[in-house]
């Protein structure tokens, strides 16, 4: 089955992050996995997801890399991509954001959830992902990852809606 791993705070080749080759080797090499961009998004095949996740965590930890990651099936990612919120251009939204996390149960947040500075609005949330809008008036930009981590108490990683769309298009079967 095809999966997508989404790492938090991983930028390939930067200090504190593995190189592209090191990350792919943790997934048994480029025959089994492919990087998407440099942001710690990996598409991989596995017949035993839990075993693969444990092996990847161990291999990366043995190399000094401790970034957390969330995993969705490619089918889940495809379905999630189709649920991106539509935005009215008059709302001056800077970005539509997808966030990923591993919650033990369905979060019970009242939606829409707005950040105190009104630069983030969480529009939808499930047990492992959320769609949000962020604004960027002047030089301040909304921090959806921080807002969700504050409310959920688990590591969160975020990508733009366009990144998710390109990922699904590149690795999809159609």
Q: Residue 138: pLDDT band by 50, 70, 90 thresholds? A: confident
Which residues are paired to 96 by β-bridges?
133
Which two tokens mark 5?
A: 């791993």
Task: Read off the pLDDT of each residue in 83-108 and give the average, rounded to a whole number.
Answer: 93
Phi, psi of 77 (to 5 degrees): -65, -40
Q: Name, in order, each residue with C-beta under 8 angstroms of 79's C-beta and a sequence gap of 6 or more.
A: none
Three-state DSSP class for residue 147: helix
pTM of the predicted protein model:
0.92
Task: Read off the pLDDT of each residue in 142-149 and give the average, rounded to a whole number.
Answer: 96
Three-state DSSP class for residue 76: helix
Distance (Å) of CA 171 to CA 45, 110, 112, 148, 166: 12, 34, 31, 28, 9
Strand-by-strand arrangement of the 41-45 sheet: 33-36, 41-45, 2-7, 69-73
Cβ atoms of residues 30 and 94 within 8 Å = no
> H helices within the chain, ranges in order?
20-26, 49-62, 74-81, 144-152, 161-171
Task: Read off the pLDDT of each residue in 110-134 and give the average, rounded to a whole number.
Answer: 96
Which two tokens mark 162?
A: 């366009």
Position 104 scores a pLDDT of: 86
Distance (Å) of CA 68 to CA 8, 83, 89, 90: 6, 25, 35, 37
Residue 83: HSE in the Cβ half-sphere, 13 Å Cα cutoff: 16
């Amino acid at each position: 089955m095809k999966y997508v791993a989404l790492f938090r705070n991983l930028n390939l080749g930067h200090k504190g992050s593995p190189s592209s080759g090191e990350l792919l080797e943790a997934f048994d090499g480029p025959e089994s996995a492919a990087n998407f961009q440099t942001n710690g998004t990996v598409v991989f095949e596995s017949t035993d997801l839990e075993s693969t996740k444990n092996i990847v965590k161990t291999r990366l930890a043995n190399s000094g890399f401790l970034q957390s990651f969330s995993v969705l099936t490619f089918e889940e990612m495809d379905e999630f991509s189709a649920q991106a919120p539509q935005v009215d251009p008059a709302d001056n939204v800077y970005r539509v954001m997808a966030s990923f996390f591993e919650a033990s149960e369905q979060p019970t947040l009242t939606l829409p959830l707005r950040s105190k500075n009104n630069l983030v609005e969480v529009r939808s949330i499930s047990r492992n992902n959320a769609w949000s809008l962020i604004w960027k008036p002047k030089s301040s930009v909304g921090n959806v990852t921080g807002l969700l981590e504050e409310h959920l108490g688990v590591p969160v990683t975020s990508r733009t809606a366009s990144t998710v769309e390109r990922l699904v298009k590149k690795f999809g079967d159609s």
